[in-house]
Structure 1
Amino acid sequence: MPALDIPFFGTLVLSLILISASYTMAMAVGAGRGRPHLLPSARWGTYATCALVLVAVCVLAYAFQVHDFRIRYVARYSDRSMPWWYLIASLWGGQDGSLLWWAFLLSGYTFFVTRWLRGRYTELQPWIFATLMSILIFFAVLMLFAANPFATYIRTTPGDGEGLNPLLQNYWMAIHPPSLYMGFVGWSVPFAILIAALITGRLGNEWVRAARLWSMIAWTFLSLGLLLGCLWSYEELGWGGYWAWDPVENASFLPWLVGTAYLHSVLIQERRHMMRVWNVFLLALTFFLTIFGTFLTRSGLIASVHSFARSDIGQYFVWYMAFLLIGISALIIWRLPKLKADNEIESLVSREFAFLLNNWVLLGMMMFVLIATTFPLLSQWLRGEEVTVGPGFYNKWMVPLGLVLLFLAGLGPLIAWRK
C-alpha cells in the first residue's frame, strides 16, 4: 500500500464502517419487526462491519510502522526511534486511536456473539445486532467528525514524531489498557441482550442466562485491567502507589462496583425469580458507567495523570448519554408490568436479604466515589472554586464500607435461602 494513500484510505474505511453498521442496524430492526428474512442480511452485515473495523486498525498500525507523519495521530504518539512493539501500543496511546481500538474490540465481541447466537435466542437476535451496531455507529461518528485517527496536517509534515509519553513506554502499556478496554467494551454485549429482552418482552430468566457468560467475561477483564493498573501504578514513581483515587482510576472502578452488584443480584433472580427490575437497572447502569467513564477521561474536564487532553468530543458523549438515559428509562417504564417479581424477601435473616445488603453497600460505594470524583468539577461550575478531594477523604469512607462488604461476604454463605 503506497504511503500516499494511507490517510485517505483510512478515512474511507471509517466511512464504510458507518455505512455498513447503519445498513446492518436497519436490517436487524426490520427482522425484529416481523421480517425474519432480513436476519441473514443483518448477520452478514455484522461480519462485514467487523472486517472493515479490522482493516481500519491494520491501516493505522501500518501507518505507525512506516512512520507516516502526515497523520497527526502518528506524529503525536510515535517517533522513528521507537521499537515496533511500542508502535503497536501507540494505537491506544492517544484519544483518537483509543476510540478506534474501542470500536475494534466491540467488533470482535460482535463477531463472536454473532457466531454464538446461531441457533440460540432467535427472537432476541435481531435486537442484539441492532443494539451492538448502534453503539458502533456512535463511535464511527465520533471518529469521522470529531477524532479522526487518520486526520493529516494541513501544511507542514514533521520530519519526526513527538514520541509516546515516556511514562507509557512500559511493558504494562501492552497489557493494561487492552485488558481494561476488554472489560469496558465487554459490557456492551449483556447490555445489548438486555435491550433485546426489553423490546421483545421476554423478561423471564432467558435473557439472564444469555447474558451470564458475557457478563462474566466483561467483569473478569475489567477486574484484570484494574489489577494490572494497580501494579503499573505501584512501579511508576509519582503515580501514588497501587491506588491513589485518581479520577481516571475511579472512572474504571465505578462500572466494576455496579457490575459486581449485578453478578450477585442476578443469582437471586435465577434462583428465586425476584429483583427483576433491580437487575435490569444494575446492568443498564453498568453499561452507562462505561460510557460515562470514557467521557470523563476524554473530555478534559478533570485533572488526572492518566486523562487525555481537552477535546471537543465531550459534547458527543453528553448527547449520547442523554439518549441512553431517556431510551433505557422509557423501555423499563414500558415493561414494568412484565418485570414483576414472583416472590418477595420474607425475612431479614435470609441469603436473599444478605445479597440485597451486598448490593446496597456496593451501590453506596459507587455513589460516594462518583460524587467525590465529580465534586471538584461541580464546585467549579456552581461556585467558581477549585476544590481538591484527596486520597485521605476517600479512605475515610471507603475503608469502613469495604469492611462491611467483607463481613457480608463471609456471612452470606452461612445463611440459608428462604423456602
Structure 2
Amino acid sequence: MSTLVPAAGWVGSFLGVAASLALAWTGFRAQYKPGALRRNQLVVPVWCMVAGAALSMLALEIALLTDNFAVSYVAETHSRDTSWLFTITTAWSALGGSIVLWALVLAGYTAVVLRGVRTTDDRLGVGALGVMGIVAAFFFGLVTTVANPFRILINPPPNGPGPNPLLQENILVAFHPPMLYLGFVGFTVPFAFAMSALLIRQGGIDWLRRTRRANLVAWSFLTGATFLGAWWAYEVLGWGGYWAWDPVENAALLPWLTGTAFIHSAAVQIKRGMLQAWNFVLVLATFALTILGTFLTRSGVVSSVHSFTESGVGPAFLGLLLVVLVAGFGLFAARGERLASLSRPESLASREGAFLVNNLLLSLFAFVVLTGTVYPIVVEALTGNQVSVGRPFFDRMAVPLGFGLLLAMGVGPILPYRHAAPGVVWQRLRYPLVVASLTAAVLVAAGARSPGLVAVVFLATVIVGSTLRQLAVSMPQRSLPGFLRLVRGQRAYWGGQLAHLGVAGVVVVIAVTGAFGERSTVTLQRGEATEFAGYQVTFEATQEYSAPNREVTEPRISFRDDGTVAHVATPRVSSFRNQEQAVGTPSVWSGPTQDVYVSLADLQPDQVTLNLYRYPLMVWMWVAGAVMAAGGLWALGFGRRRSQGSDGRHAERSDEVVSRA
C-alpha cells in the first residue's frame, strides 16, 4: 500500500503529460486541416487529462490521510498530529501539491472549453484547445520532474514536521489557495483563444464572446481570493494589518488589475468595435502576469510569508514566462496590421471614452505595482545588492490612481455611448452630486479633518447615488418583481454596478480605518489595567493547555466598559510539535462598528506586552470584497445556457436600455 498510492500518482501525472501533448498536436492539426479529424480525437485527450490530474490529486490526499511517510511530499509536509482538515489542505500547502492542484484546475477548464467546440471545423476553438494542451503539458511535466510529490523514500521517517504552522491557524487555508488557482488558471482560457485568433488571423469579437464566461469566473474567483487572503493575513499574522504590498500579494494584484481592464475593454469592442488591439495586449499581459506571480511564489526569489521553498521550478517558470512573452507578443506584432480597430472613440465624454480612461488608469496602476515589485529583484540579480521598495512608494502612487479610478467608476456608467451632451451628464449626476456634497459636509461637521477621507466618501457616494438613480429610472415598475426582472434581464450591466458598489465600500473602509484607527503598545503586570479605545484593558491571567498537535500559552485580557466585562481577548502562542519556532496568533473582536485587535509582542509568566488596535467599520471590508466578487458572478449568470454568442448580444441590448435612461 505504501508504494501503490504514489505509483497511482505517477501514473496520473504521466497520463496527464501524454494527454496534454496529444491534445496540443491534435488541436493544431485540426486548426490547419479543418474537418480532417473527428471530434472524438479531441475528447479523448481532454478527459485523459482530467482523469490523470484527478488521479494524482486523489493519490496525494490518500497518502496524506493514511500517514504514508514513504511518499516524499508526506514526509516533508505532514505530521500524525495534524488534524484531518489541515491534513486535507496540506495537499496544496506546499510546492508539489500546489502544482498538482494547478494541473487539476487547468484540466477542468479545458474540459469546459471542449464543451463549446462542437466540431473540428471550429478553427478558433480547436486552436484554443491546442494552446491549453501546451500549457497543461508544462504543469504536468513539473509534476513528473522538479516538483514531483510522489518520490518514494527508501527509509521513510516515522513522522514528519507537519505543515507550516501559519497554515494550521485558520480555516481560510481551505478556501484561499483553491480560489486563487481558479482565478489564475481561469485566465488561461482567454489567452488560449487570443493566441488561436492570432494564429488564424481572425480578429473581431467571436473570441471575446466565447471567453466572456471564463473571464468573469476567473475575475470573480481572483477577487474573492484576494480578499480572503487579506482576511487570512489579518486574522493570523498578528501585525495588525491586511495588506503590506508584499511582493507575492502584489503578484496576485497585477493580473487582477489587467484582467479588470480587459473585461471593460472587451465590452467596448463587443458594443462599438473599438480597442481590438488593446484587448489582445491586455489578455496576453494578464496571462503573463499569472505566470510571473507563480514564479515569484514558488521560486524563492523573494522573501515572503507566502513563498514556498526554493527549488528547480523557478527556472522552469522563468522559461515559461519568457516563452509566453516572446511567442505571444511576437505573434501579436506579426499580425498587428490586421488588428487595428476601424473606429475610434468620438469623445472622451462618452461611455467608451470613460472605459478607455479607466483602462489606462488600471494599466498604469499595474505598471507601478510591477515596477515596485520587480525592481529589487532585478537590482539584486544584476549587482548583488539588496534594495527594497517599501509601502510609502506604493501608497504614494496608489492614492492618486485610486481617486482617478473612483471618478471614472462614478461617471462612466451613466454616460451614453458616442457622445455625452453636458446637459445629459448634469441631469444624470445632479442628485448624486448633491447627496455626495451633503454627506461630505456632514462628515466635516462631525470632525473629519482628512481631505483624503472626505474626497473618498464624496466619490463613493457619487458611485452609490448614480447606481441608485439608474436603478430607479430603469425599473419598469417600482416593485420587487420589477426590480428582479430588471437585474436579471441586464445581468452584465447590473453585475458591473454591484462590483462598483463593492469597490466603493472597500475604499471607504480603507479611508476610515486609516483616518480614525487607533494603535497602542502597552506592557502590563498581572492584574494591572490601562485605558484603550474607551475600554479598561486588564491582564487577568495566563493559561496553558495542550491541543492534539501543539502546546498553547494564552493570556486572558479583559475589556471593561463602565465596569462591565464587554469582551475577553485571548491572543496565544502555539508551540507545534516537530516545529522549532512558536507562532503567535492575535485575538480579533469584530463588530458592525469596529474591530478591536490584540496581538502579543512579548509574554512572560507575570507580564505581557500587547499591541492594541482599533479599526472602525473593519468588518465591512470583507463584506464589500464579497459584494465585488458577487457582482462578477451575477454578470456571469446561472440560468439556462444560451446559444453561442447570445450572452454578448444580450449584454449589448441591455446596456443600451440603461444608456438611454
Instruction: Specify the alignment match of 1:330 in structure 2.
Output: 330
Where in structure 2 are the equivalents of 1:96-175 lying within 5 Å? 96-118=96-118, 122-153=122-153, 155-169=154-168, 170-175=170-175
Cα 1:331–1:202 change in 2 (3 A) is: same
Letter in 2 for 1:16: L
Partner residue in 2 for 1:401: 401
Cα deviation digits, residues 26-63 of structure 1 (max 9, x gap): 12222112152243212221112211111111111111
Q: Give the distance between the partners of 2:149 and 2:248, measured in 1 at CA.
A: 22
Question: Deviation digits for residues 128-185 of structure 1, max 9, x if unmatched?
Answer: 21111111100111121211010233x5311001101121112000011111111001
**1:90-129 CA distance string (max 9 Å, x none):** 1100011100100001111112221243369822221121
Secondary structure at the counterpart of residue 82 of structure 1: coil
How far does the alpha carbon of each residue in 1:66-102 deviate from its partner, in whole angstroms, 9 at most, with x for none?
1111112111221111222211101100011100100
Question: Which residue does 2:15 correspond to in 1?
Answer: 16
Does structure 1 residue 234 correspond to structure 2 residue 234?
yes
Give the secondary structure class of the aligned counterpart of 1:392.
Answer: helix
Helix, strand or coil for the counterpart of 1:289? helix
Q: What is the identity percentage for the equivalent residue pairs of Structure 1 and Structure 2?
A: 38
Residue 278 in structure 1 maps to residue 281 in structure 2:
no
Higher mean C-alpha displacement, 380-389 vs 291-300: 380-389
Report SS of the residue matched to 2:108.
helix
Aligned-partner residue type, residue 97 of structure 1: G
Q: Which runs of 4+ in 1 moved over 4 A?
A: none
Contact residue 27 and residue 38 of structure 1 kept, 8 A:
no
- Counterpart amino acid of residue 168 in structure 1: L
SS in structure 2 at match of 1:135: helix
Q: Take 1:228 and 1:121, find their aligned partners in 2: how far apart are those partners?
A: 42
SS of the residue aligned with 2:303?
A: coil
User: Does structure 2 retain, via aligned residues, the 8 Å contact 1:25–1:42?
Assistant: no
Does structure 2 conserve the Cα–Cα contact (< 8 Å) formed by 1:350 and 1:416? yes
2: CA distance, partners of 1:148 / 1:76: 13
Change (3 A) 1:275 1:79: same
**Alpha-carbon distance between aligned partners in 1 of 2:112 and 2:293, rounded to the nearest angstrom:** 25
The one-letter code matched in structure 1 to 2:43 is: R
Match of 2:321 in 1: 321
| Residue identity in the other structure for 1:311 | S
Give the distance between the partners of 1:121 and 1:219, measured in 2 at CA: 30
> 2:240 & 2:321 partners in 1: Cα distance?
31
Query: What does 1:215-254 align with in structure 2 at a 5 Å threshold?
Result: 215-238=215-238, 241-254=241-254
Change (3 A) 1:203 1:372: same
Q: Distance in 2 between matches of 1:42 and 1:305?
A: 41
Shift of 1:237: 3.0
Is contact 1:288-1:321 (8 Å) kept? yes
1:233 is paired with a residue whose SS is helix
Distance of aligned partners of 1:332 and 1:399 in 2 relative to their CA distance in 1, 3 Å threshold: same
Counterpart in 2 of 1:69? 69
Q: Residues 252 and 244 of structure 1: is their aligned pair in 2 closer, same or farther, counting only changes over 3 Å? A: same
The residue matched to 2:3 in structure 1 has which SS?
Answer: helix
After superposing the two structures, state which structure 1 stretch, 110-119 or 185-194, moved more: 110-119
Aligned counterparts of 1:9 and 1:239: Cα–Cα separation in 2? 43
1:261 deviation in Å?
A: 0.6
Return 344-353 or 164-173, whichever deviates more: 344-353
1:207-248 C-alpha deviation (Å, 9 max, x unpaired): 111111110010000000001111111111335512111111
- What SS does structure 2 have at the residue aligned with 1:3? coil
1:292 Cα deviation (Å)?
0.8
**Structure with greater strand percent:** 2
> Contact 2:361 / 2:401 at 8 angstroms: preserved in 1?
yes
Instruction: Report the 3-state secondary structure (helix = DSSP H, G, I; strand = E; otherwise coil) of the residue aligned with 1:329.
Output: helix
1:29 aligns with 28
Could you tell me how far 1:13 is from its partner in structure 2?
Answer: 2.4
- Aligned alpha-carbon RMSD (Å): 1.7
Which protein is richer in helix relative to its size?
1
Aligned to 2:417: 417
Q: 5+ unaligned residues in a row in structure 2: which ranges?
A: 420-661
| 1:46 equivalent in structure 2 | 46
Q: Secondary structure at the match of 2:98?
A: helix
Q: Compared with structure 1, are the counterparts of its residues 88 and 328 closer, same or farther at alpha carbon in structure 2 (3 Å cutoff)?
A: same
Bigger radius of gyration: 2
Task: For 1:166, give the aligned amino acid.
Answer: P
How many residues were matched structurally? 417
* TM-score normalized by the length of structure 1: 0.95
Q: Which amino acid aligns with 2:258?
A: V
Query: Structure 1 residue 368: deviation in Å?
Result: 0.8
Equivalent residue, structure 2, for 1:264: 264
Superposition TM-score, scaled by structure 2 size: 0.61
Q: Who is 2:180 aligned against?
A: 180
Per-residue Cα deviation, 1:12-33 (whole angstroms, up to 9, x for no partner): 3212211121122212222112
1:78-89 aligned at under 5 Å gives the runs 78-89=78-89
State whether residues 25 and 129 of structure 1, in contact with CA within 8 Å, keep that contact through their aligned partners in structure 2. yes
| 1:408 CA drift (Å) | 1.1
What is the distance in 1 between the residues matched to 2:235 and 2:409?
31
Secondary structure (helix, strand or coil) at the match of 1:148 reads coil
Quickly say closer, same or farther: Cα 1:202–1:239, change in 2 above 3 A.
farther
- Contact in 1 for aligned 2:32/2:123 (Cα 8 Å): no
Q: What is the identity, as a one-letter code, of the residue corresponding to 2:317?
A: F
Q: Distance in 2 between matches of 1:356 and 1:4?
A: 57
| Runs (5+) with no aligned partner, structure 1 | none
Aligned residue in 1 for 2:541 = none
The farther-off stretch of 46-55 and 339-348 is 339-348
Shift in alpha-carbon separation, 1:166–1:359, aligned structure 2, 3 A: same
* Conserved 8 A contact 2:2-2:70: no
SS in 1 for 2:328: helix
Aligned to 2:60: 60
- For 2:350, the aligned partner's letter is S
CA distance in 1, matches of 2:5, 2:204: 49
Residue 213 of structure 1 is matched in structure 2 by 213
Cα deviation, residue 280, structure 1: 0.5
